[in-house]
Every structure is written in C-alpha cells, then in structure tokens.
Copies of this chain bind each other. A is one copy, B any other.
Amino acid sequence: MIRAPWTLCGPCVCHPTVIDPLAPLLKQYADVRAHSVALAARLSDEDQCVQSMPDASPTKWHLAHTTWFFETLVLLPHVADYQPFDRHYAYLFNSYYEALGPRHPRLQRGLLSRPSIQEVHAYRNYVDRAILALALDGIDQDAIDLEALLGPLELGLNHEQQHQELLLTDILHLFSCNPLLPAYNPSAQRSAQEQTPMQWLSLPGGIISIGRSAPEQAAPELPGFAFDNETPRHQRLLPPYQLASRLVTCGEYKHFIEEGGYQDPQWWLSDGWAVVQAQQWTAPAYWLAPGDPRRPDAAWQVFGLDGVQPLQAHAPVANISFFEAAAYAEWAGSRLPTEFEWEAAFGTPGLSQMMGPVWQWTRSGYEPYPGFSPRAGAAREYNGKFMVGQQVLRGASLATPHKHSRSTYRNFFPPTARWQFAGLRLARDL
C-alpha cells in the first residue's frame, strides 16, 4: 500500500497559519489522490496494464496521466526549477493536449508494460511531494501566487475524479471481454431497492436559468467549482413538459427486448439501426442472455463490478448507448428529455434517481452555451474542442466519486458508447 506523503507530517497541524482556501484543498488533494490508488488496489499488475478498446485506457495509464496533469499544469508553471520525474512521461501520458506537444498514440496505451506499476506509484509520490512542498512554501514565504495556484489544482482534482469513474468503467469493459468474467469487487452489493410505480411529473417550462457562472468567478470557494462547459449561466425558454419520476428499469427494458425492439427499425434513429445491425446488438452491453455459454443459466443475467448476477427487474437499466435509450423511448411512446428540461426539473419533489445510479442520456447534442469561452492556457482544450458529435448525459452514476456530482454537470459521450453506466429517464410533451 502506498502512503501519501502528506500523511507523514500532517500539513494542517504543522502549519496552523494556512490560509483558508488552501487547507481544504490540500485535504481534498490527499483524499482524491488516495482514492485513485485505492480503486486500483483491487487489481493485479496485469489488470492494470491492459487496454481493452480504443476508447478505454489501462488503470496504470489513468494513474500516471492524472499525475502528469498536475505536473504539467501546476508544477511546471509554478516551480521555477522543477525537474520532471522522467522526461519521457510528457510523451507517454499526455492524453490529447495538442498545445503540450506530441504524445503516445491513444490506441497503443495498452502496449506500455513499462514503466511498471511501481514506477508509476513512485511518480505519483514524487509529484505529490512536490505539490505539497509548493503549497507549504507558498504559505510560509508568500513566494507564490496562491490565487493562481488554486485554479489549476482544483481543476486537476476534478480531472482526477473524472478519471476515477473512467478507471472503473474501463476495467469493467476489460473484464467483460474475458470469458472468465472476473468480478472487480465480488463483495459489493447491488442496491435491491423496490421498484416504485413510474409517475409523470408535470413541469411548467418558461424562462429558466441554466448553467453556472464563469469559473473565474466561482473560485476560490471549492464548492463553486464548475467545468467551463457548464458556463456561462444563461436563460432558456422551455415549453411545458413531463418527466418520469424515476429511471427506466431492467424489467421494463427486458420487455422492450422481448417485444422485438432490437429487430424493428421503426424505433431507431438511422445511424443507430446501422450500428445495431453491424454490431449485432440484442441487449445492453453487459447482459447475458439465457443460455450464455460463459455462465449458463435459464434467465437473464447482468455483468457488473460485482461479477455476474441475476437480472434485477427493479434496477435501472445501464450500459446502453444513446441509440438504445432513444429507441426505447420511442417504443414507449415518449422521448428523451433535453438537458435543459433535466436541469430545470432538478429538485422537483417526487423526482427520484436524479443523481444515480446511472447517467441519463438526454436528447441534447453537446454544444457550447451562449457566450461560452473555454479556460485559458493548456486547459483550453479540456472541453470545448469536443463539442460536436456527442450527446449530453446528466446526473451521475454509481462510479461517480463522492462530491463530484451536481445539477449543472454536463457529461458527454458519442451516441454509440455503451461502456459507461448510462441509462435513461423518459420525457414527453405536455
């Protein structure tokens, strides 16, 4: 087990004069960094090395990339004589930042059996110590511009939290490709919540405020963090509409399957139907049909982080693409909500499951808000350059880190993506 360096001396105790904003941030830094390591601790070295598809990354890569992010956006700009841990890592662990130079091809992340897991942990410790030293130096000597430091630090933590969710969805995808169908955490319990009858809740629409104030205004109070894609706060005009009180369940989705939903083009968007046929989809990504040779059983089963379990009719359907969500909604005589309808309804009494256990596909393409302006510097490439060809998801999932969810959060994935914990909630016109 890796011990984070700040646990050795306890910065907040040794430095009682720490200014307000930094102390909680260092505490959060310690927590977030330790949580990534803890998530990986269930995995063997081999598990952590493999890339199962182009969209997924190895666990080890997640651990290193999130560290590189701090090194590049915090340490290099703020520590005058900072020596990178390894000069190759900028190439190996840059994800997609063109402004930061060439990088290892995304499709070949799984070929990096070196550096080893141990080296990556050493890298994490090296950077963690440097971050801590930077913070303490700044506090003691007023040598650094704390304000300028907070933004990148906060972004780095939120960035690492996003990768924590990806780490879980990526490892689940890897395990789903293994005929042995290993469980990430066999002792995890799935919620066995009772299914409540679905209600239609009526929302009035009207002129609604959407999104968040610009990030520079939100810092340094931590609860105020938002990604640039959630900004600026602006107004939308919505007609009245209805939202379902809860998510669509596995039992309901199984009905769609049994009624021939995957065989009838009338429910599907054109591109979706093409994918259904090309990929021969017949059920959500991790469902095992009765008789599946990997785990023969007379009934449907679902593979998840806890391994293969019987399908729970009450559980929300997960691991479906936008195309499947939209087809189900069409079949059900409804539609998906827009992301604005979702946000406008947030907090309405009677609306349940708004923050999990699965993300909720919306009918909204991922576009900039009116007046959108990306962050400055390298972080400029964080969100804005992906704003085409993807769909917005709202809410959160069982894999979303604690305190990382909020009503204005805009998750986004291509309409074909199935390896996320994504389901749907129905909507309809009033």
Contacts and interface: CB of A to CB of B under 8 A. Distances in A.
Contacts of A236: 237
A179 interface: yes
Given A179-B104, A237-B207, A429-B371, A269 B111 contact: no
B179 A91 contact: yes
A346 B112 CA distance: 43
B44 A271 contact: no
Contact of A98 (B88, B99, B114, B265): B265
A387 interface: yes
A282 interface: no
Contacts of A381: 270
A178 interface: yes
B44 A179 contact: no
A371 B88 contact: no
Contact of A44 (B45, B47, B268): B45
A182 interface: yes
A45 B48 CA distance: 10
- Tell me which of A49, A115, A235 has the highest count of chain B C-beta atoms within 10 A of its own C-beta: A49
Interface residues of A, number: 68
Nearest to A99: B266
Contacts of A266: 98-99, 380
Interface string A373-395: 00000001100011111010000
Contacts of A99: 265-266
A273 B98 contact: yes
Contacts of A380: 266
Interface in A237-283: 237-239, 265-266, 268-273
A49 B52 contact: no
Interface string A141-169: 00000000000000000000000000000
Contact of A178 (B60, B112, B371, B387): B112
A324 to B, nearest CB: 13
A387 B391 CA distance: 12
Nearest to A268: B385
A8 interface: no
Contacts of A272: 388
A367 interface: yes
Nearest to A387: B269
Nearest to A116: B44
A234 interface: yes
Contacts of A202: none
Given A47-B114, A113-B44, A387-B269, A367 B370 contact: no
Contacts of A305: none
Interface of A: 44-50, 52, 60, 88, 91-92, 96, 98-99, 104, 108, 110-117, 174-175, 177-180, 182, 207, 234-239, 265-266, 268-273, 322-323, 326, 335, 363-365, 367-368, 370-371, 380-381, 385-389, 391, 415, 429
